[in-house]
Amino acid sequence: MGLMDKLRGELVDIIEWIDDSHSALAWRFPRYNNEIKNGAKLIVREGQEAVFVHTGKLADRFGPGIYELTTENLPIMATLQGWQHGFNSPFRSEVYFINTRPVTDFRWGTANPVTVRDPDFKMVQLRANGLCIVRVVDPAIFLREVIGTDSRVNIDEIGELLRRVITLAFSDMIMETKLGVIDLQGKQVELSDKLRSFVAERVDDEYGLGIDSITMNISLPDEITNAMTRGVAKGVEASGWANNVGDMQRYQQATAAEAMVTAAGNPGGGAMGDMMAAGMGAAMGAQMAGQAAGSLGGQPAGSPPPLPGGKTFHIAVNNQQQGPFTIDQLRASGQVTPQTLVWTAGMPAWAAASSVPELAPLFAATPPPLPPTAPPQAPPATPAE
């Protein structure tokens, strides 16, 4: 530093910060030995606040405006430096400019998926991302907790801190709402403001930051998204379900039908598995067709109505509910025993198949096989004459 630079640094006349980066949150005004001339001019622009720091202690603060630095408008500084009768020589102080304008392009995202308990899909791992509008609302706290002795602080330098806070707040919010993943994805706009509150209360008194708004985009695992797409597609052409992705009943029906088709193609599934696959596929198709017809106000084209009085039964196989099946399907399988638990509309509870009058003929005693037929006897020989 040359002599003229040193002299100019000792006798600072104008203190100001002109910033066009849109990402800087704080900047320390540079001076030689931190000396400021008596009567120097301080210019604080809109969206800024100037903070004086003397020997590590927070002193006077100035909002937007133009100030002449004298004893009268530096009361805290005068106390810290013991100015009883004013000052005529340069004084030492650090001057920090704090950007109080909102930073509108801060992007956040969950580095790791957040596990959610869902009533339909059990345990699901979600990811989320979005935009956050953040600003400095308390320069004193921000100076103590974030700036420290740095000469400049950008939004990128606290980005990792903010992302950790937002991710933890997102996880806590999901746990509090206790919503399923489909409802979460359908209420993203509503939940964004709730997330903003969760984040704001964790950064205001801690770091002097404020959160103006947060946008949130929840991403479901590819497996669930693909399954939902397949489930909805099965009923889209008949009933106009394309815009109602959240219908879990259709998704479950389509998934069950797909599973039955897969089981039917398994050569090791056995006769009962093949029968169940065929029966459930037919029943599921009839049920979905019936629902489609109901939504359209009539029977689907080319589909006959169900037989009147036909009764179907649900059965319990390996502690799992299967069905409904007609009596003919149960008879054809040959796998339903008298002890198999069954249920149909009108029954108060599950009961053994042998106790249901409609199924009793399935277990009627089978007559023994006929005895073997005796070979025909040869006619007696004619006696010789």
* pTM summary value: 0.55
Predicted pLDDT at 17: 94
Q: Are residues 110 and 202 in the same domain?
A: yes
**Is residue 303 included in any domain, yes or no?**
no
Predicted pLDDT at 208: 95
Q: Are residues 227 and 338 in the same domain?
A: yes
pLDDT classification of 375: cutoffs 50, 70, 90: low
Q: Are residues 161 and 148 in the same domain?
A: yes
Given a contact cutoff of 8 angstroms between Cβ atoms, the answer to whether 67 and 41 are in contact is yes
- Helix, strand, or coil here: 45? coil
pLDDT classification of 373: cutoffs 50, 70, 90: low
Tens digits of residue pLDDT in 102-112: 999 899 999 88
Q: Residue 290 pLDDT more than 50?
A: no
Tens digits of residue pLDDT in 145-203: 999 888 999 999 999 999 999 999 999 998 888 888 888 878 888 899 999 999 999 99
Predicted pLDDT at 16: 93
Q: Residue 219 pLDDT more than 70?
A: yes
Q: Residue 83 pLDDT more than 50?
A: yes
Mean pLDDT to the nearest integer, 306-316: 72
Indicate the residue among 167, 200, 220 that finishes a domain.
Answer: 220
Q: Are residues 90 and 170 in the same domain?
A: no
Tens digits of residue pLDDT in 325-349: 888 888 887 778 888 898 898 888 8
Predicted pLDDT at 292: 41
Predicted pLDDT at 89: 60
The one-letter code for the residue type at 247 is D
Over 245-282, what HEC string results?
A: CCCHHHHHHHHHHHHHHHHHCCCCCHHHHHHHHHHHHH
Predicted pLDDT at 286: 47
DSSP sequence for 182-223: HHHHHTHHHHHHHHHHHHHHHHHHHHSEEEEEE--EEE--HH
Q: Residue 241 pLDDT more than 60?
A: no
Mean pLDDT to the nearest integer, 215-242: 65
**Is residue 175 included in any domain, yes or no?**
yes
Q: Residue 377 pLDDT more than 50?
A: yes
Q: Residue 79 pLDDT more than 60?
A: yes
Q: Residue 75 pLDDT more than 60?
A: yes
Indicate the residue among 99, 125, 156 that finishes a domain.
Answer: 99
**Is residue 182 included in any domain, yes or no?**
yes
pLDDT classification of 2: cutoffs 50, 70, 90: low
Q: Residue 245 pLDDT more than 90?
A: no
DSSP-assigned letter for residue 180: -
**Is residue 364 included in any domain, yes or no?**
no
**Is residue 376 included in any domain, yes or no?**
no
Q: How far is CA 301 from CA 67, 191, 287, 289, 290, in A?
A: 84, 43, 15, 10, 11
Say if strands 35-44 and 12-15 run parallel, antiparallel, or are unpaired: parallel
- At residue 222, what are phi and psi to the nearest 5 degrees? -60, -35
Predicted pLDDT at 207: 94
**Is residue 361 included in any domain, yes or no?**
no
Predicted pLDDT at 280: 46
> If we measure between CA atoms, which residue out of 226, 217, 258, 259 comes closest to residue 245?
226
CA neighbours closer than 13 Å in the CB half-sphere of residue 187: 15
pLDDT classification of 260: cutoffs 50, 70, 90: very low
Longest Cα pair distance anywhere in the chain, in angstroms?
173
**Is residue 77 included in any domain, yes or no?**
yes
Mention every residue, 6+ apart, whose C-beta is less than 8 A from residue 162.
Answer: 106, 108, 132, 134, 203, 209
Predicted pLDDT at 312: 87
Q: Are residues 255 and 332 in the same domain?
A: yes
Q: Are residues 216 and 244 in the same domain?
A: no
Q: Are residues 90 and 10 in the same domain?
A: yes
Average per-residue pLDDT for the chain: 75
Mean pLDDT to the nearest integer, 257-286: 47
Chain centroid, CA 70 distance in Å: 56
Q: Residue 114 pLDDT more than 50?
A: yes
Q: Are residues 206 and 129 in the same domain?
A: yes
Give the residue with greater pLDDT, 164 vs 365.
Answer: 164
Predicted pLDDT at 111: 86
> Which of 254-258, 292-296, 380-384 shows the highest mean pLDDT?
380-384
280-289 own/partner pairs: CB under 8 Å, 24+ apart:
280/256, 280/322, 280/323, 280/325, 281/257, 283/312, 283/323, 283/324, 283/325, 284/253, 284/256, 284/257, 284/260, 285/257, 287/253, 288/234, 288/235, 288/250, 288/253, 288/254, 288/257, 289/238
CA distance 162 to 107: 10
CA distance 2 to 36: 18
Q: How many domains does the chain divide into? A: 3
Predicted pLDDT at 317: 84
Q: Are residues 148 and 246 in the same domain?
A: no
**Is residue 354 included in any domain, yes or no?**
no
Q: Are residues 110 and 66 in the same domain?
A: no
Q: Which residue has the tokens 């002795």?
A: 149
Indicate the residue among 43, 77, 99 that finishes a domain.
Answer: 99
Q: Are residues 215 and 233 in the same domain?
A: no
Domain that holds residue 269: 223-291+313-349
Q: Are residues 93 and 154 in the same domain?
A: no
